[in-house]
Amino acid sequence: MIKGNSKFVIPIIKNMKKTIALALMLLTSATYAQDVITLTDGRTVQTKILELSPDAVKYKKFDNQEGPTYTVPLNTISKIKYANGSEESFNTAPAATEQGQANSSGNGGDLPPIFKGTFDVNDKATEAYIEAVAQNAGAKILERCTGRSDNSTTDIFYGEVFRDDIAVELHIPILVKWDKGLANKVRSIRGEIIVDRNGKRSWKYQSDSGITFSGCAKGIIEL
DSSP line for 64-97: -TTS--EEEEGGGEEEEE-TTS-EEE---PPPPP
pLDDT band at 109 (very low <50, low <70, confident <90, very high): very low
Containing 144, the helix (H) or strand (E) segment is: helix 124-146
Confirm if 85 and 75 have CB atoms less than 8 A apart: no
CA 81 to chain centre: 20
Instruction: Say yes or no to pLDDT of 103 above 50.
Output: no
How far apart CA 14 and CA 214 sit, in angstroms, is 68
Least trusted range by pLDDT, from 28-37, 66-75, 113-122: 28-37
pTM confidence score: 0.56
Q: What is the per-residue pLDDT across 52-63, written as a single tens digit (0 to 9) for each?
A: 887 778 888 888
At 174, the pLDDT band (50, 70, 90 cuts) reads: very high
- Give the per-residue pLDDT at 54: 77
Q: Quick one: pLDDT at residue 94? A: 44
CA–CA distance, 218 with 32 (Å, rounded to integer): 41
Q: Name the burial class of residue 148, with classes exposed (0-12), middle (13-18) and buried (19+) by CB atoms within 10 angstroms of its CB.
A: exposed
pLDDT at 213: 74
Predicted pLDDT at 193: 95
What's the pLDDT score for residue 96?
A: 42
Q: Percentage of the chain surpassing pLDDT 90?
A: 14
Is the predicted pLDDT of residue 172 greater than 60, yes or no?
yes
DSSP state letter for 57: E
